[in-house]
Amino acid sequence: MEKFGQETWDKLSSLPGVQDTFMTYTVYDDILTIRLVQEACSLLGVPAEVLLKLFGEHFFTFCKQAGYDTMLRTLGGNLVEFIGNLDALHSYLALSYQEMNAPSFRVEMTDDGKMLLHYYSDRKGLYHIVPGIMEAVARDFFDSQVSMVVLNQSEEDERTGKKEHVVFLVNQTNQAGKTSEEQDSTCTEVGGGPEYCKYYADRCVSPAGKKSGWDLIRAGVLHQRTFIPCYPDKLWMEEKAFCDAFPFHIVFDENLKVRQTGVNIQKFVPGLQAVEATLDQHFTIVHPQVTFNIESIRKFINSQFVLKAYKDKHTVLKLRGQMLWMDSLGCMLYLCSPKLRSLEELRDVGLHLSDLAQHDVTRDLVLLNQQRLAEMELTNQLERKKEELRILSRHLEDEKQKTETLLYAMLPRHIANQLKDGKSVEAGQSVSTWSPSRTSVPYFQTKMETFFFFGVLEVETIETHAHRVANFALAMRIAAREVTNPVTGKPIQIRVGIHTGPVLAGVVGEKMPRYCLFGDTVNTASRMESHGVPDRIHLSASAYSELKDAGFDIQERGQIEVKGKGQMITYFLLGNPMLSEDSIMGREAGGICLYREELPGLMETEDGTAPPDPARSAPATPFAWDITPPYQTNDSSCSAPADNNSRLCVLL
């Protein structure tokens, strides 16, 4: 969304197989990630490596904004130290995100001074994220530019299992244009003393002439490199005191034979007290996932090691710490502490806070993380409730649209809007309305409702000419002949009655409002239909007077007796010589729907005004009827009607 906008994300999240929402503390399968990347690349038209690199840059910014800025800045005084401590950061984050499957990093300096970055991951295909992150880190934290090239990509053979191993060649250039090798040589030439301090003081001056706080800290860290430590001639510490002070430590030789252990680790793993005990008999390496031998351990000496031991089938103790190689003794010191996430885990492994050394920060870490886990659970619950509300809101909006659609189908839009606003609707007069009666055949009704749209609406006020309804009636008669009665197998025949006159229109009812027409005109239209002839359009004298000069073919029926009306002279509408049947039905090639120029105006906007006419700016769409049966019928379940005639009364 930041790089390509909200609209792009909306398009992407609407694609099949792409999840549109993600919870912060929920673990998702990598299949979703890969699919999301693939669909994004297809939508944006960019290669996967470009998209993943952009994501790496954004992820670094996201982490800073999420509150990890200070933590990230203190990982190291230079890029090498920063990378070397990433595994330790991931180990800390794993206390909160227990199921996090983080990658591992290792820096290797070649004999010719080049920097190689080894990237290990259980998740294939995502290594292009790394250059994006490292370039952003170097630019933001160390005022330098980094370029990275993939030297090798293979299945990892240094670690157990088939893991992805990618080797990057890293070239770092500072703001002055010097590479890391040239910068190191400059430091050597400057040396220590006042010149050394002046050199780094000059480096910390910003273009505005002011020193940045982080630059001063970084310069101080670099200055410490000139410090030469002093070591005692012998270790002034008793063996017992050492084992008590560091209750969780192990010393083992090149053959992994245990030479020394802390007092509390012996309590948990008594087998370490055996004379010929080896480390791999009682522990497995969890991180980094290297083969359990001294060569692999020394290769990852700068990584944080996590070892796992089983006290019994149900009790597992994980140790976390660093490896230190003692060259003079040919032994490795594993200085560690229990890896615990909460007080519950402390209790489950059979330990107490008193078993941890006073100087061990694991004490404070367990207590702090206990509180953080509770906060995370609360945040997770709130996030889920928020997502549930979002989904409910979306469904509510959908249902609202359906309700409004139904309301506008029942009532004129301006009447419906008045009711929605809580206003009363006064009755009014209408002289140009039409209202079809119920058909006697449900199948026919369902079928015919998909046929007709001639610029007239059911129970809707329209101020247009009488020939609209006449053409509409002709089209209904044509369409009815194409509809077969599923019981008799014969075409449907309809009777249509048309009458012109004033009516009273208004909304009746409060709980179930209905838009109704009242008056003698309604009754007369019904009489024209009921006294009509199948497959004929019956006109009253007033309807005839409106149509006689409009070019229609009309035949006088004569004087007939009409129930409740007495003697009336009526007429039959035979056709429209000016239009062919295909033209009336919109079937002619290139033909348009009759009165299409005014169709949009029939559906008013929210303010009651007619929307602009799209017919003037867009090509007309040919009009076509759908005459496919809407459902299958069962002859045995249908009762045959008395005849094949349907009734429709039209009021004009």
610 has pLDDT over 50: no
pLDDT of residue 583: 84
Least confident of 25-34, 299-308, 597-606, 634-643: 634-643
Least confident of 98-107, 349-358, 437-446: 437-446
Average pLDDT estimate for 96-103: 77
Task: pLDDT band for 126, please (50, 70, 90 cuts).
Answer: confident
pLDDT of residue 196: 44
Task: pLDDT band for 201, please (50, 70, 90 cuts).
Answer: very low
207 has pLDDT over 80: no
Alpha helices in 235-311 (DSSP H): 239-245, 263-268, 279-282, 294-299
200 has pLDDT over 50: no
Task: pLDDT band for 484, please (50, 70, 90 cuts).
Answer: confident
560 has pLDDT over 90: yes
Residue 536's beta-bridge partner residues? 495
Task: pLDDT band for 208, please (50, 70, 90 cuts).
Answer: very low
CA distance 221 to 569: 110
Least confident of 149-158, 172-181, 610-619: 610-619
Q: Is 16 helix (H, G, I), strand (E, B) or coil?
A: coil
pLDDT of residue 374: 79
Ramachandran bin of 347, using left for φ above 0, alpha for ψ from -120 to 50, beta for the remaining angles: alpha
Q: Is 455:598 a contact under the CB 8 Å cutoff?
A: yes
CA distance 310 to 308: 7
pLDDT of residue 156: 54
Peptide bond before 229: cis, by omega within 30 degrees of 0? no
pLDDT of residue 584: 83
Q: Is 498:470 a contact under the CB 8 Å cutoff?
A: yes
Task: pLDDT band for 206, please (50, 70, 90 cuts).
Answer: very low
40 has pLDDT over 70: yes
Least confident of 131-135, 360-364, 492-496: 360-364
Higher-confidence residue of 428 and 249: namely 249
Average pLDDT estimate for 233-260: 92
pLDDT of residue 371: 75
Residue at token pair 């990584």: 303
Q: Is 39:17 a contact under the CB 8 Å cutoff?
A: yes
Q: What percent of the chain has pLDDT over 70?
A: 75
Q: What is the mean pLDDT of the chain?
A: 77
Task: pLDDT band for 157, please (50, 70, 90 cuts).
Answer: low
pLDDT of residue 294: 93
536 has pLDDT over 80: yes
259 has pLDDT over 50: yes
Cα within 13 Å of Cα(393), Cβ side: 6
pTM above 0.85, yes or no: no
The CATH code for residues 239-359 is 3.30.450.260
CA distance 157 to 81: 25
How is residue 67 annotated by DSSP? I
398 has pLDDT over 60: yes
pLDDT of residue 631: 35
Of the ranges 305-314, 434-443, 589-598, 613-622, which is most confident? 305-314
Q: Is 437:651 a contact under the CB 8 Å cutoff?
A: no
pLDDT tens across 56-69, in order? 999 999 988 888 88
Alpha carbon separation from 552 to 206, 207, 225, 571 (Å, rounded): 91, 89, 105, 12
Task: pLDDT band for 261, please (50, 70, 90 cuts).
Answer: very high
209 has pLDDT over 50: no
Average pLDDT estimate for 271-281: 90
95 has pLDDT over 90: no
Rg value, the chain, Cα: 43
279 has pLDDT over 90: yes
Considering the domain 47-174, what is its CATH architecture?
Alpha-Beta Complex (3.90)
Report the relative pairing of strands 144-155 and 164-174 from DSSP bridges. antiparallel
pLDDT of residue 169: 93
pLDDT of residue 622: 37
pLDDT of residue 218: 57
212 has pLDDT over 90: no
256 has pLDDT over 60: yes
Domain 425-592+647-651 fold: Alpha-Beta Plaits (3.30.70)
- Residue 515 main-chain phi, psi, to 5 deg: -90, 115
Average pLDDT estimate for 273-292: 88
545 has pLDDT over 80: yes
Residue at token pair 């001056």: 205
How is residue 618 annotated by DSSP? S
Average pLDDT estimate for 134-162: 79
186 has pLDDT over 80: no
Q: What percent of the chain has pLDDT over 90?
A: 23
Higher-confidence residue of 68 and 642: namely 68
